[in-house]
Structure 1
Amino acid sequence: MMATGPELRVPSDRRHVPVLGVEAVAALAPRAGGVYVDATFGAGGYSRMLLEVPGTRVIGIDRDRTAIAGGFALVEASGGRLTLVEDRFSNLADVCAGEGVTHVDGIVMDVGVSSMQLDQAERGFSFRLDGPLDMRMGQHGPSAADIIAAASETDLANLIYILGEERQSRGIARAIVAARREEPVTTTRRLADIVARVVRAKPNDIHPATRTFQALRIAVNEELDELQTALVAAEQRLKPGGRLAVVSFHSLEDRIVKNFLNARGKSAGGSRHLPEVAQHAPSFEILTRRPIVPGEAELAVNPRARSAKLRSAERTAAPAHPDEAPPEWPSLQSVMRGG
């Protein structure tokens, strides 16, 4: 779905173009004078493109203080049209209210860790760079090292299996618990080595620690809960005709987005067994029946884009649906308290 309004211009500096960034912003069909939320500001790629449309106002959100600080120059250049807020993107409804905005014309989300975070060894996101086992996008809460130290073997196995989709989770959890008895596991290199002794990689396969690191990062930052809450908030804050665009990078995230839009994109009728269940009119019209994926040109420039998927939808005039059922993945609180 491409924009029919003002032509979008790609920033000259490719470092500021997020994966599927042009397609995601085009899916919003930004219009002159519209109000938009860049819910995961990062390097500011979406915001830059949205600000190219005359008179737009953009509210950028990021829980990473480094990303917010890096956007100050763009704030100054925007002439007051860009506001940056350090917060979780799940709080976008409150952020908008704090900026005096009740409803917006579009919301874009790029879910997961950013290239900037992966490339900073001191952040502890990458198994390819030795650094402290941190993985926190923000400045608060337990780190990956804290989870490794506190979680039971069973909880570790469940976390790695569910959030990392790692079939050898039990063996990895057993190896981690054995290793931490000898010495705390506090660096990315040590954890990667422990996992590599259990998971044998095949030629041209992903690194053996990929799924374990993914699981820990998702748990540390409560990413699936954040995404689910942010989608509900987007439904509440988008005006009729407003658009939502979400770029995800692995199956768990994409499944949440797909299921959310499918549930909101059709009537949830009362069955003959439960006739008292109220009808809910569709709150979204789905624009991408199949997700948009990167083309060969983008993959050649950025191999990290290979798993990206973009889904988009347009808000109808129907009321927001009730909140979803409780999530089916382990919570950070339950893992840290050992049950």
Structure 2
Amino acid sequence: MSFYQSPKKISAFDAKFEAQKIAFAPVSFQVARCLSQFDLLTKVDEVGEKGISLVQLTQDSELSEYAIHVLLDMGLSMGIFWCKDNHYRLDKTGYFLLHDDMAAKNLNFIHDVCYQGLFELEDSLKQGKAIGLKHFGDWDTIYPGLSQLPEQTKKSWFEFDHYYSDHAFDSLLPLIFKSQPAHIVDVGGNTGKWAFACTHYNKNVHVTIMDLPGQLIVAMKNAQTQLVADRVHPFETDLLDSEKPFCQEGDLYWMSQFLDCFSKQQISIILKRTVAAMKPDSELCILETYWDRQPHEAGAYCVNATSLYFTAIANGNSRMYHSKDMLNMIIEAGLYVDQDIDNIGLGHTLLRCKLKPTYQ
């Protein structure tokens, strides 16, 4: 990735300012969130170029003039607003905080899911465990507890997860059905969104969702709502336990934003179990956001930041991977990559894998 292959072209003065931004980053984050929560971004946006005064913003607000004023001042320093003649207008950063869906989903995810737990990042790094998860429940990983999270936390988690995957669906469905699979095994299918997309796209395909029992209960309820329960099937298992069953002989095994939830050692186990279940002509399609394959630096920044969510909250040992690491694990499992497609959706890469001849 060319973004990081040479020093940034930035003056020492500007670099020192960037260091101060990092030091005060938790303050900036909470200010941005409060400006959104109290509708101050919306109120400033609504008046457009003429701007709005502090007195006007204070009217009909639950906040005092003091509270609004400290938020506005910090917003000026953050580039959210600009101010002339004591009237505030949205600057470009403020515009995207308000209108960009990705920024909104990321902000809610960090606040509702990650903020408290990230305080435990130091201990999580030392112990190799998701110490921050204790703020939600007594689980080893977040996945068995997803259905038990507080409603707002659960909402933000699923909106974050689905936002990135859903943007890829329209491009992916024709690619996946090019081989005309009759039976797709959705490994780690969660609430079933991909399974339902497949069954709506193709009226004959059957999809088996392999996942933990809590997720399958939700998925099958959703399947009833989607009127596809006759073609979406649950398969309860623990993918890391070789004593547990693994769905056999699917035409196409599907792993979307799934393998990043596991350590390298665990990924190797899952891939080898998949290889053992595949027919000679089966395919494995892996969809991930690799930080080295992002088309823009902002994407790589978000992907690398997401790795620390896994460290402190999700499981303590997984991450968003470099594509070379994943390719090496795929080869070691007995597969080869038949297709490698970048820039799907929001920076996703599709790896279409087949069995090496010796495994067929």
Computing the radius of gyration over CA atoms, which structure comes out larger, 1 or 2?
A: 2
> Normalised by the size of structure 2, how large is the TM-score?
0.38
> Normalised by the size of structure 1, how large is the TM-score?
0.40
Bigger relative contact order (CA 8 A; separation at least 6): 1
Q: Which protein has the bigger helix share?
A: 2
